[in-house]
Copies of this chain bind each other. A is one copy, B any other.
Amino acid sequence: MKHGWAAAAQSGRAASQQGMRRQNLALVMTTVAAHGPMSRAAVAERTGLTRAAVSSLVDELHSAGLLTESGSVPSGRAGRPGRALALSERGPAGLGLEVGVGHLGACVVDLRGEVRVWLRVAAANRNRRAEEVLAELTAVSERAVGEARASGLRPVAAVLAVPGLVGDAPGTVERAPNLGWRDVAASELCAHGLPLEVDNEANLGALAELWQGAGACDFIHVSAAEGIGAALVVGGRVFRGARGFAGELGHVPVRPDGPVCACGARGCLEQYAGEEAVLRQAGLGRGEDAVRRLASRARDGDRRALGALERAGEALGTTLAGAVNLVDPAAVVLGGAYAELGDWLLPGMRRELATRTLRRWPPEALLVSALGRRGPLTGAGMAAIRRIIEDPAVWRPTD
């Protein structure tokens, strides 16, 4: 009998001296990112590396412009204070890009995770030619890069957020129904000269939440607006599924014989809590800023709006309770445009989660994202710098 472990063994690589150095460079960078500013001694203590090894690694990262060393931190012992290692606020940076249904965006994030440039322009992208959309995005990105350079930043990697399914072919959007895209080679069409990765906006919104949020490493991030998407963050990573299509919360059935959905099935969550369904129930039309108009109605005590939001919250809660029983996250985060509707969605969601989850679900485990609509673009910029921090050897000027 063969053991069915071929996949695990194939991915196994022999440990080598060169691989060790690369791994240890990454270890120092991620340690300073998580715990810095800190002394060389503190890095050695946390990582288990010798002081000499840390010094050699830090020197390399310093000369690549990735770490700075200045000021002082208490060494925790008697004697003079050590100098403080920190991620550089100049030099290598990440470029985040976004194609939305109604806008284009570009941002530049420095290694410390701070957003230094933020551009967002209105654009009617629904059913517009992808080439045109991405040419305009390239122009926006060039403006952002120009502004970043003026502050001493040098974007070296880019990530693009799209409201669609990103398939197996790298850089390609397999399907984005709200844009009218099918098999668009986005990374080729967006020609700003940096290596570009493409990811789903819900995934990037969730990563932004992970990196800037309350600190949970395992959560479901619900990102609702035109459609309802979700991302499962597991151990600090987006869980993508066997073919990269995990997170389609909007098409989990709420009532097996409910109304017919655009996907062809009946009773999907989108038919109860999707923007179109909620606006219809609230007696509002679609269009730009529909969510803001809905929130304003609810704030004014409009009964139809309140009723529509309560039913939507209940349906979201029922579906998320099932998801919690299935994947056991530590928290659920309501993000995207729906973060602005939290006051009215949360009560129904909390009730359903409390009743239906097998393990006790504390009310504080349901959170509203502080990033909201800014999530996907922020996440794209941060994902770009994460590439650098997790494998700094790739970004040395000599490479």
Contact = CB atoms under 8 A, between A and B. Distances in A.
A6 B330 CA distance: 16
A321 interface: yes
Contact of A24 (B4, B15, B26, B234): B15
A347 to B, nearest CB: 16
Contact of A114 (B1, B247, B265): B1
Interface stretch (A66-74, A75-83, A117-125, A355-363): A355-363
Interface of A: 1-10, 12-16, 19-20, 23-24, 26-27, 30-31, 33-35, 46-49, 53, 112-114, 210-213, 215, 217-218, 230, 232, 234-236, 239-249, 251-256, 263-266, 268, 314, 318-319, 321-323, 325-330, 355-356, 358-359, 389
A245 B330 CA distance: 11
Contact of A246 (B26, B327, B355): B327
Given A242-B218, A328-B240, A248 B358 contact: yes
Contact of A253 (B12, B33, B322): B322
B328 A241 contact: yes
Given A33-B3, A241-B329, A46 B9 contact: yes
A265 B27 CA distance: 46
A236 to B, nearest CB: 5
Q: Which 7 A-B pairs have the closest CB atoms?
A: A241-B328, A252-B322, A218-B242, A242-B330, A9-B34, A248-B325, A246-B328
A13 to B, nearest CB: 6
A251 B357 CA distance: 8
B318 A247 contact: no
B245 A234 contact: no
A245 B359 contact: yes
A267 B36 CA distance: 50
A1 B329 CA distance: 25
Contacts of A358: 245, 248, 251, 263
Contact of A359 (B213, B243, B329): B243
Nearest to A241: B328
Contact of A5 (B10, B46, B213, B236): B236
